[in-house]
Amino acid sequence: MPIREKGYYSWDGQLKESHVKWLPIFLNGVVQVFNKKRSKLIFAFASMPFLIFLAGVYFATKPELKMLTEIIQQLKTDTMLFYSFYTFGLLVFSMIVMSVFAGSDLISADMKFKSFTLYLSRPLSKMDYLMGKYSVVLFYLLLFSLAPGMLLIVAKLIFSGSFSVPITVFLSSILFPIVIALFFSSLILMLSSLTTNSKFVVVMFFGVVLGSNAVAQIFREIFKNDQFYFLSIEKNITNFGSFLFNTKSGLEIAGWPSGLILTGVTVLLMTILYFRIKKAEV
């Protein structure tokens, strides 16, 4: 390449339009979450459900060891294995914590520093912006829910020497964590769009999740009707899991309405979030 003298020259490169315009938002967001204080502690906590069930799958193939017998009783079938894993209280709570950790300041910080003009003045649409923010939360939620579920399938194959997971269970193991991750990411991002204070977002998120359980339980005790469990986020997750994996949840209510509730609320949250971003842009 010849050495040019100092001066101005016309650029002879080519401009190529990217079809993944939100990718820089995703990459930057993932790195920021990873570099947060106490991130390694949160990640270790979120890995515990997988490690517990991984040990359960191993000891289920070694009955002579007589360890983790209570968990092994729940792992007799593939259906119970994945239903128990995805509705495991510790896993659901870790997804709640991860939602807060990864998403509480994703939009509130942009509102605080008035960054929307900088984002949307580039060739980015509001949908590109939202997809970038969603991808950050979904990445971490699915990293500690969907990915461990797939690893449990691999572990079962290795420990047992055969692949016996039914296709319906396999597909449910993919669909269920995606639906739950979309719900939690929509909730935390919508709440993050309501205020510039990320700490207030955390309070609101836990208030909604825990408050829904408390309200459902109160009405259930007053009217002695399990239908009020449809008001609880946690019960809807468990109930939807029982429907998807064709198992019993212990509740005297159908499982399919919980799936409709979670999906409907997710769409509603997405709609509110979109109009919040549109209003913040103005």
**Percent of the chain surpassing pLDDT 70:** 86
For residue 273, being part of any structural domain is answered with yes
For residue 130, being part of any structural domain is answered with yes
In the structure, what pLDDT confidence band is assigned to residue 148 with cuts at 50, 70 and 90? very high
For residue 2, being part of any structural domain is answered with no
For residue 5, being part of any structural domain is answered with no
Domain with 49, as residue range(s), is 39-281
In the structure, what pLDDT confidence band is assigned to residue 120 with cuts at 50, 70 and 90? confident
In the structure, what pLDDT confidence band is assigned to residue 258 with cuts at 50, 70 and 90? very high
**CB-based contact 196:108 (threshold 8 Å):** yes
- Choice among 8-17, 54-63, 236-245 with the minimum mean pLDDT: 8-17
For residue 139, being part of any structural domain is answered with yes
Long-range pairs for 172-175 at CB < 8 Å and ≥24 separation?
172/82, 172/244, 172/245, 173/82, 173/86, 173/146, 173/149, 174/146, 174/149, 175/244
For residue 30, being part of any structural domain is answered with no
Looking at the structure of the chain, the number of domains it has is 1
Structure-block tokens of residue 31: 């790195």
- pLDDT value at position 145? 96
**CB-based contact 185:138 (threshold 8 Å):** yes
- pLDDT value at position 236? 95
For residue 195, being part of any structural domain is answered with yes
Query: How does DSSP classify residue 230?
Result: G
- Predicted TM-score of the model (pTM): 0.90
Average pLDDT, the chain: 88
Write the single-letter amino acid at 228: F
Mean pLDDT of 67-76: 63
Mean pLDDT of 196-209: 95
pLDDT greater at residue 157 or residue 264: 264
Q: What is the largest CA-CA distance in the chain?
A: 86
For residue 15, being part of any structural domain is answered with no
In the structure, what pLDDT confidence band is assigned to residue 248 with cuts at 50, 70 and 90? confident
- pLDDT value at position 171? 94
Structure-block tokens of residue 84: 């128990």
**The dihedral sign for the CA sequence 244, 245, 246, 248:** negative
